């Protein structure tokens, strides 16, 4: 798969499927390198899905002289779409910085945006969420990746799912493995998350928008996500009462995929 020189760094990306274009972005990780199996079910059956490695993750490098902001990461994604000659793209941000990036693209490059989906995100960091992210970063720095992984996993999954799948979730081959050995990249992603502020600009988003609220999310629950829905004119909101920060389990994944595909098909 290709690497392109994008926004002063080498950016790795992949495309999957055929159809109208979708830019799919996640949080502190990547859907690339086999991670496409975690994309919403059925998405690549109907759409051309573009995924990429954030700066410092996977096969994308970084320029450490640049201040990490969500605008920087969004400019990376926007320039990738320019490189591919794409406009009028569905933007899907699945949790964290991926959804922040989607907001920034919709605000600053409306020519690229056809619709937007946000899950597990925020418009402006509050003290509680900020302290959670700082704690995650401190644990990674001071105690290592595996301690960080255990902390973020126990905060991000529904309890019964965590208990049943703990052996698969934790360890060197477990979740958030894209950050293993990449503390600097993680720290820069945290900096960008902490300073993200679209609160006074959400009304600039003019595309159809779907904001999904996870009822059991201990990190970015409805307290945070409702603000996004309220700030975007005409935004649609859907509450997944039984979902935690990470949507997991066959029943919830099927429900989530149906919501995503129905929204995209309508726009």
Whether the CB-CB separation of 179 and 185 falls below 8 Å is answered with yes
Query: What band does 237 get if pLDDT is binned at 50, 70 and 90?
Result: very high
Confidence of residue 197 (pLDDT cuts 50, 70, 90): very high
**Per-residue pLDDT at 235:** 98
Segment 244-262 shows an average pLDDT of: 97
CB 158 within 8 A of CB 244: yes
pLDDT at position 119 over 90: yes
| Best CA proximity match to 58, nearest among 83, 75, 36, 41 | 36
pLDDT of residue 96: 97
What's the whole-number average pLDDT of the chain? 97
Angstrom CA distances, 21 to 5, 50, 151, stand at 21, 7, 35
Task: Report percent pLDDT > 90 for the chain.
Answer: 100
pLDDT of residue 1: 59
Sign of the alpha-carbon dihedral angle for 101, 55, 68, 178: positive
Average pLDDT over residues 185-209: 98
Query: Residues 120, 122, 127, 131: what is their CA dihedral angle, to the nearest 10 degrees?
Result: 40
> Which pLDDT value is given to residue 155?
97
Q: What pLDDT band is residue 198 in, cutting at 50, 70 and 90?
A: very high
The answer on pLDDT for 264 being more than 70 is yes
Q: Quick: pLDDT tens for 157-181.
A: 999 999 999 999 999 999 999 999 9
β partners of residue 91: 23, 116
According to DSSP, the residues that pair with 237 across neighbouring strands are: 211
3-state secondary structure 103-172: HHHHHHCHHHEEEEEEECCCCECCHHHHHHHHHHHHHHHHHCHHHHHHHHHHHHCCHHHHHHHHHHHCCC
Q: What is the pLDDT of residue 231?
A: 98
Q: From 3.40.50.20, 3.40.50.1820, 3.30.1540.10, 3.40.50.2300, which CATH number describes the 3-126+196-266 domain?
A: 3.40.50.1820
Residue 83 CA to its chain's centroid (Å): 21
113 pLDDT more than 90: yes
The whole-angstrom separation of Cα 143 and Cα 146 is 8
Average pLDDT over residues 35-40: 94
Rounded to the nearest 10 degrees, what angle do helices 159-169 and 145-156 cross at?
Answer: 150
For residues 119-145, give the mean pLDDT. 98
| CA end-to-end span of the chain | 29
The predicted structure's pLDDT at residue 65:
95
Whether the predicted pLDDT of 257 surpasses 70? yes
Please report, for the chain, the start and end positions of each structural domain, with discontinuous segments joined by +: 3-126+196-266
Instruction: Indicate the pairing of strand 9-16 with strand 3-6.
Output: antiparallel
The stretch 48-76 carries a mean pLDDT of 98
Per-residue pLDDT reduced to its tens digit, 82-102: 999 999 999 999 999 999 999
* pLDDT tens string 1-13: 599 999 999 999 9
């Amino acid at each position: 798969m290709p690497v392109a020189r994008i926004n002063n760094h080498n950016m790795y990306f992949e495309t999957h499927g055929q159809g109208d274009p979708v830019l799919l972005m996640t949080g502190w990780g990547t859907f690339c390198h086999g991670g496409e199996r975690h994309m919403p079910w059925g998405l690549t059956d109907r759409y051309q899905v573009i995924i990429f490695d954030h700066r410092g993750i996977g096969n994308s490098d970084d320029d450490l002289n640049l201040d990490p902001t969500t605008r920087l990461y969004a400019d990376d994604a926007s320039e990738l779409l320019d490189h591919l000659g794409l406009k009028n793209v569905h933007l899907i941000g699945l949790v964290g910085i991926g959804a922040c990036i989607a907001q920034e693209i919709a605000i600053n490059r409306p020519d690229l945006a056809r619709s937007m989906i946000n899950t597990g995100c925020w418009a402006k960091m509050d003290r509680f969420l900020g302290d959670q992210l700082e704690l995650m970063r401190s644990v990674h720095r001071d105690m290592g990746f595996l301690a960080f992984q255990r902390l973020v996993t126990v905060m991000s999954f529904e309890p019964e799912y965590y208990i049943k799948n703990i052996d698969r979730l934790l360890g060197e081959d477990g979740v958030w493995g894209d950050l293993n050995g990449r503390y600097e990249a993680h720290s820069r992603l945290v900096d960008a998350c902490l300073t993200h502020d679209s609160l006074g600009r959400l009304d600039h988003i003019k595309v159809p928008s779907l904001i999904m609220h996870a009822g059991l999310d201990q990190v970015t629950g409805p307290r945070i996500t409702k603000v996004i829905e309220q700030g975007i004119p005409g935004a649609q909101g859907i509450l997944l009462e039984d979902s935690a920060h990470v949507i997991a389990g066959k029943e919830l994944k099927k429900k989530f995929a149906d919501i995503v595909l129905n929204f995209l098909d309508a726009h």
